Structure 1
Amino acid sequence: MPHTQINQDDINKAVWSACDTFRGTVDPSIYKDFILTMLFLKYISDVHQDKVDELAKEYGGEPELIAAMMESQSFKIPTGSTFWDLYESRFEAGNGSRIDKALHAIEEANGTKLKGVFQDISFNTDKLGDEKSKNDILRHLLEDFGKEALSLRPSRVGSLDVIGNAYEYLIKHFAAGSGKSAGEFYTPPEVSDLLSIILEPQQGDTICDPACGSGSLLMKCGKQIQKNLGGSKQYALFGQEAIGSTWSLAKMNMFLHGEDNHRIEWGDTIRNPKLQDTEGGLLHFDVVTANPPFSLDKWGHEDAESDHFGRFRRGVPPKTKGDYAFISHMIETLKPHTGRMGVVVPHGVLFRASSEGKIRKQLIDENLLDTVIGLPEKLFFGTGIPAAILLFKKQKDDKKVLFIDASREFKSGKNQNVLTSDNIQKIVDTYKARETTDKYSYLATLEEIAENDYNLNIPRYVDTFEEEAEIDLMAVRSERLALQTELAELEAEMAGYLKELGYES
């Protein structure tokens, strides 16, 4: 049966409408995991079936031969565990346990690639109601994903990164609906694009995101290398994520995008960094980048003083704001010569005093800070506050810091602002030129920053003040006199009309 080429908007709408099965019954923070996991299962099942059909057509449909050839595929789905196997049984009792069984069979069949990915999700849960309610909800879900609009066969998808785009679309909408909790792991795609371009990941680089969320920022860095080097995958991706279901999402994302050379750990990066070398020290990377949760409360202050990795030797961040905990961790994981880093932070990081001020001073005095980029407000879900990007380098060519004020460069949306490709290009070009430009950037010396008490607030360096146009007072006076004359003439004319009508004053 021929398959018409897919349209990304149609697939996004079809996946989002599948959420209607849960709305009003289950909280979005719960059902997002079911939707994203079902999308994963549907996609790999359609890819699997497309290949089976292709081989059957080519080799005459010999089941044993086809089964043997399918063993060489990059991922495996055991017999009876595809989406379509579950779909065919959807009217029978036990949908929840059947889906769980299929997921765990797929996990087992693919070894370390999917190890532990589905341990945090169960479709056979009381959160979906009693047995009958649960079975009905899951039957509707299977039917939603079984529609032709959600056929994700490669013969229909073509070269579109339909699954990556659909994941991004869903996560964005879950973030919009769930506020901060979802926003903690969702970085707007244009911000990920900007970071991946500016950090210039190279072939052979090791790239790390210590607060990786769904892994989108890591994969954007990988795509930059592929784009610049004709598809080369000679790089390695590393990440750590504290939330179990989000870690699973990152693993699924890597699997779907064929990013086999990755290591994504589950755990709290500050309290328990798991990306360690064989001797128990922190691994070091060429590129480190993250959008950590803004001003995280209860980040691990109580153990920071005795941190045996020495990450807080420049000072311990305040108890209720973990921004500099992540910055300190990231700095300590940079390679000594090639290490470069980009981190998204709230503006308070630029100027707050006390312990944060001391850490900031130390980082600047060590000439690690390279660039400060001010972003527009309302870019991030869950918060309307403007953010900034801090770029650090282990080896700099000068003793200066570039300030870029991109806060007014955006396209206004209904609820969120976005950076356009032109906005991004302007930031990148300014970053590369590394010079002062009128009302947009300023290249400051370390001495100037010290004179400002190590305050990095961007308006201290980039003057965006627009002078008001000079008013010609004589022209205004002449215009006023002319209006007064015209008004007097109108008054006289009106008085004449009133007199004719017999209304004399």
Structure 2
Amino acid sequence: MSEDQKKQLEQQLWNIANTLRGKMNADEFRDYILGFIFYKYLAEKMEIFANGILKQDKLHFRDLKTSDIHNAEIIEAVKEEALEKLGYFLKPDELFSEVAKRGNSDVVGISNFILEDLQKILTNIQLSTMGTDSEEDFDNLFEDMDLNSTKLGKTPEARNEIISKVLSHLDKIDFKLENSELDVLGDAYEYLIGQFASGAGKKAGEFYTPQEVSMILAKLVTTGKDKLKSVYDPTCGSGSLLLRVAKEVKEVGDFYGQEMNRTTYNLARMNMILHGVHYRKFDIKQEDTLEHPQHLEKQFEAIVANPPFSAQWSANPLFTSDDRFSQYGKLAPSSKADFAFVQHMIYHLAENGTMAIVLPHGALFRGGAEQHIRRYLIENRNYLDAVIGLPSNIFYGTSIPTCIMVFKKCKEQPEDVLFIDASQHFEKVKTQNVLKEEHIDKIVSTYRHRLEEGKYSKRVPLQLIADNDYNLNIPRYVDTFEAEDIIDITIVSENIKKIAIETTQINARIASFCTELGIPTPF
């Protein structure tokens, strides 16, 4: 698929999404359109899988009637295979295209009212997994899609009409799922998530990291590797960051994540499945990561995170005996959980692993417990590998400048920390600052080769950081000072004197002209 075709598809989907918009805000109509797209994906995947099984019998899955006893036996056999391989099951009459046709039927005597059937089908997808290995991954996956909500229309008929219209538009789009080399739908889904994030204001940070920042994090943690045993995001949002890491390597063994927001947790699971990640290869949990961690027994080869900036947490004294925090001697302050996330991630980092976390700049230099934790990480453990300053106004919902901190338990260059100041390297697009490909490449290349460049990057010895009381504020180490041109006061004085003489001469000429004309002089 060409870039133009890809953009055309993205625009088509965005136009369909806006069909639903009405009086709903971005969060609400996002849940419906992404849910319908996901249902279409599941149905088409189901049909392709079933047709593959039935090919030798020259049967087509959608033609099988559940009322026929012989067909019912075939469908049951397909169901058994589907639950094992796909993790879910849909009957022939539950396929997306079949429902879309019924909703837009104008055949006399055939009802085109599909609301009840559609709600039942979405429930049946979940019910089909009960008692199987995929049950947790599909549990309440469509709970945010209330087809009886008056936001879709005041009457059932109005709601049915708008939903039927959306299904009809989606049914005409070919996601090319039979071509396993293409991830057309996955890319389009990511595009839509990004579009919703850009229009969701402050809430955007709950579920989406800008793509260019995701790329940087992914490239940092995959440096020197083409395969990963595991990748983990403790604040995974929609799962986009986990999936971005997968694009940087040939293979990822398993994906792990945790997300507190229920709606966003559902979105993350949909996103994983829709990108072709098998249900056995991902483990996304819904809980507060700091208060109720769900993967405590595991360590991960790559860890990425864009946690909520300076969030509050309990900082419960009981956590001083928690293995994630006990060795530091202090907990991150309750008003700023930034370093609590760092400590949590360090605990889960494998000896050969790399972690990269986005933090507000304040985390680099604030005193108190945070300074104590920074000191421990650098002086006692020597885990800090790099500090990268990003431009301000690149995240949705906040204009504050941010940074990326990179940690390793086994550093290749243990004698220093690399500081990169990329804060002035961006392109302004409307009201947002954007990192272009060349800006991303420069950051990643500088990190991978540990390059030093005037006013951009510096390898700083650990002793110098200690001399600065473990203050990691980037301008302390990367000098971006631009010297002003030296001004010769004598020359300036001579120029002023010259101008004064010229002014006097001009005034005299004007006065003579005024005298000749018989008019008063203007001065």
Fold similarity call, TM over 0.5 = yes
| SS of match in other structure, 2:463 | helix
The residue number in structure 1 matching 2:71 is none
The residue type equivalent to 1:439 in the other structure is K
1:62 aligns with 2:84: no
Question: For residues 93 and 311 of structure 1, what CA distance do their matches in structure 2 show?
Answer: 59
Match of residue 85 from structure 1:
98
Gap change, CA 1:15 and 1:467, over 3 Å in 2: same
User: Which of 366, 376, 385 is the equivalent residue of 1:362?
Assistant: 376
- Residues 350/306 of structure 1: CA separation in 2 closer, same or farther (3 Å cut): closer
- Residue number among 395, 402, 407 corresponding to 1:392 in the alignment: 407
Q: Return 479-488 or 308-317, whichever deviates more.
A: 479-488
Distance in 1 separating the partners of 2:245 and 2:403? 19
Check the 8 A contact 1:340/1:392 in 2, yes or no.
yes
**Distance in 2 (alpha carbons) for counterparts of 1:305 and 1:47:** 45
**Which stretch shifts more, 113-122 or 372-381?**
113-122
Deviations 1:384-410 (A, max 9, x none): 101110000001131311111110011
Identity of aligned residues (%): 34
CA distance in 2, matches of 1:60, 1:486: 103
Instruction: Name the CA distance, whole Å, in 1 between partners of 2:126 and 2:176.
Output: 22
> Which one-letter code corresponds to 1:105 in the other structure?
N
Where does residue 210 of structure 1 map in the other structure? Answer: 234
Once residues 2 and 468 of structure 2 are traced to their aligned partners in structure 1, the CA distance between those partners, rounded to angstroms, is 62
Count of aligned positions: 488
- Deviation per residue, 1:155-183 (Å, 9 max, x gap): 89996633233322322232233222221
Q: Structure 1 residues 366-375 or 117-126, which shifts more?
A: 117-126
Distance 2:156 2:417 in 1: 57
Residues 1:61 and 1:500: Cα distance change in structure 2 (over 3 Å): farther
Aligned-residue offset at 1:471: 2.4
Match of 2:125 in 1: 106
- The answer as to whether partners of 1:378 and 1:416 remain within 8 angstroms in 2 is yes
Measure, in 2, the Cα distance between the counterparts of 1:351 and 1:466: 23
Whether the 8 Å contact between 2:47 and 2:62 is mirrored in structure 1 is no
1:176 and 1:444 mapped to 2: Cα distance?
A: 37
Deviation at 1:4, TM superposition (A): 11
Q: Do the aligned partners of residues 115 and 50 (structure 1) sit closer, same or farther apart at CA in structure 2, a change above 3 Å counting?
A: closer
Contact residue 21 and residue 141 of structure 1 kept, 8 A? no
| Structure 1 residue identity aligned to 2:35 | T
Find the counterpart in structure 1 of residue 176 from structure 2.
154
Find the aligned partners of 2:172 and 2:488 in 1 and give their Cα distance.
Answer: 65
Q: SS of 2:166's equivalent?
A: helix
Residues 438-457 of structure 1 mapped to structure 2, 5 A cutoff:
438-457=454-473
1:383 aligns with 2:398: yes
Contact 2:417 2:461 in 1 (8 A): yes
Structure 1 unaligned segments of length 5 or more: list them.
Answer: 227-232, 277-281
- Report the equivalent of 2:345: 330
CA 1:63/1:444 → structure 2, altered by over 3 Å: closer, same or farther? closer
- AA of the residue aligned to 2:59: E
Deviates more, 1:67-76 or 1:237-246: 67-76
Question: SS where residue 123 of structure 1 aligns?
Answer: coil
SS where residue 254 of structure 1 aligns?
Answer: helix
Match for 1:471 among 455, 462, 487?
A: 487
Three-state SS of the structure 2 residue aligned to 1:174 is: helix
Q: Is 1:272 paired with 2:292?
A: yes
Pick which of 207-216 and 311-320 moved more. Answer: 311-320
444, 463, 477: which one aligns with 1:461 = 477
1:64/1:435 CA distance change after superposition, 3 Å: closer
SS in 2 for 1:147: helix
1:415-451: per-residue Cα shift (whole Å, max 9, x none)? 2211111111111121123243211112122221111
User: Equivalent residue for 2:245?
Assistant: 221
Which residue type is aligned with residue 184 of structure 2? Answer: V
Equivalent residue letter for 1:7:
Q
In 2, the alpha carbon distance for the partners of 1:266 and 1:152 equals 33
Partner of 2:314: 300
Equivalent position of 1:18 in the other structure: 16
Q: Which amino acid counterpart does residue 265 of structure 1 have in structure 2?
A: K
Alignment check: 8 A CA contact 1:375 1:389 kept: yes
Contact kept? 2:221, 2:302, Cα under 8 Å: yes
- C-alpha deviation, 1:287, in angstroms: 1.1
- What is the SS of the residue equivalent to 1:301? coil
User: CA shift at 1:480, angstroms?
Assistant: 3.9
Match of 1:257 among 275, 296, 304: 275
Q: 1:230 aligns to what?
A: none
C-alpha contact 1:81 1:103 (8 A) present in aligned 2: no
* CA distance 1:96–1:306, change in 2 (3 Å): farther
Alpha-carbon distance in structure 2 between the residues aligned to 1:329 and 1:45: 39
Contact 2:62–2:93 (8 Å) recurs in 1: no
Q: Distance in 1 between the 2:177 and 2:194 partners? A: 27
1:299-331 per-residue CA deviation (whole Å, 9 max, x = no partner) reads 232365355444343121111211111111100
Distance 2:317 2:157 in 1: 46
- What is the distance in 1 between the residues matched to 2:291 and 2:144? 25
Residues 138-147 or 382-391, more deviating: 138-147
Distance 1:367 1:80, change over 3 A: same
Determine if contact 2:16/2:169 at 8 Å carries over to the other structure.
no
- Does 408-417 or 78-87 show the bigger shift? 78-87
Tell me, yes or no, if the aligned pair for 1:55 and 1:66 is still in contact at 8 Å: no
* 1:107-126 per-position Cα deviation (integer Å, ceiling 9, x unaligned): 34465444215253242444
- 2:159, 2:277 → 1: CA distance? 33
